[in-house]
Structure 1
Amino acid sequence: MEFAFETEIIEWRGPSPFFFAPVPATHVADISSAARRVSYGWGMIPVTAAIGDITFTTSLFPKDDGYLLPLKDAVRRQAGLTAGDSVTVTINIRPR
């Protein structure tokens, strides 16, 4: 399954800062349905994601009835992204 969306980068300021691209609510039901087949530990969903010509693998985090796409520092730096930036993301759910 492939999903494309625009979202705003957020930062979680824990002991180590993390950056995420929240998945819009319009995709949550479809992703939740696919999650039953591919999810592992804590509801994580393996995906291949793309921002522009940068492609990377990661897993969606379930959060507050939605999902967050974690952005690796190497991806953020290469794309020149930080908190508050708008970004277009494409994700493909991967089999386990």
Structure 2
Amino acid sequence: MKKYEMGSTMQSLRHRRRYEIKAMIWLHDGPAGWHFVTLPQNEAREIRAHTAGLATRWGSIRVVATIGDVRWQTSLFPDRKRKSYLLPLKRAVLKAEGIKAGDRIMLTLDV
């Protein structure tokens, strides 16, 4: 897994907020078997307020996520049912950190 490298794509990083989040990994029961983390509602509410007007028209928000030694650019996706956001986890992240569905993890989001 390539670690995140600061560069021109994230020039406004100094205006970002950092969130330290503890959450459980879960496996979507669809055919692709994606793994996700659902953000706690308090953090989701803060992120929604901080990014007002910045989300795409589908509601996704660009972030830099860190779990352990792995840092990558990704997006949070709205979960209207839970009034939160979902963070998709790539297989490469799971493998690099030795984590799986059901594990409670600490992650950092730069939003």
User: TM-score normalised to the size of structure 1?
Assistant: 0.90
- Residue 5 of structure 1 aligns with an amino acid whose one-letter code is I
Flag as ranges the 4+ runs of structure 1 deviating above 6 A. none
Unpaired runs of 5+ residues, structure 1, are none
CA positional deviation for 1:38: 2.1
RMSD: 1.1
**Paired position in structure 2 for 1:71:** 89
Q: In the TM superposition, what whole-angstrom CA distance separates every residue of 1:22-60 from its partner, at most 9, and x where no partner exists?
A: 111121211111232321131001000001111011100
Matched, 1:8 2:29: no
Aligned length: 93
**Paired position in structure 1 for 2:103:** 85
Q: Which structure 2 residues correspond to residues 53-68 of structure 1 after superposition, within 5 A?
A: 53-63=69-79, 64=81, 65-68=83-86
Matched, 1:51 2:67: yes
- Residue 18 of structure 1 aligns with an amino acid whose one-letter code is W
Q: In the TM superposition, what whole-angstrom CA distance separates every residue of 1:2-27 from its partner, at most 9, and x where no partner exists?
A: 11111110110112111011111121
In terms of Rg, which structure is larger? 2
In structure 2, what is the Cα distance between the partners aligned to 1:81 and 1:26? 24
User: TM-score normalised to the size of structure 2?
Assistant: 0.79
Unpaired runs of 5+ residues, structure 2, are 1-16
Q: Is the 8 A contact 1:44 1:61 kept in 2?
A: yes
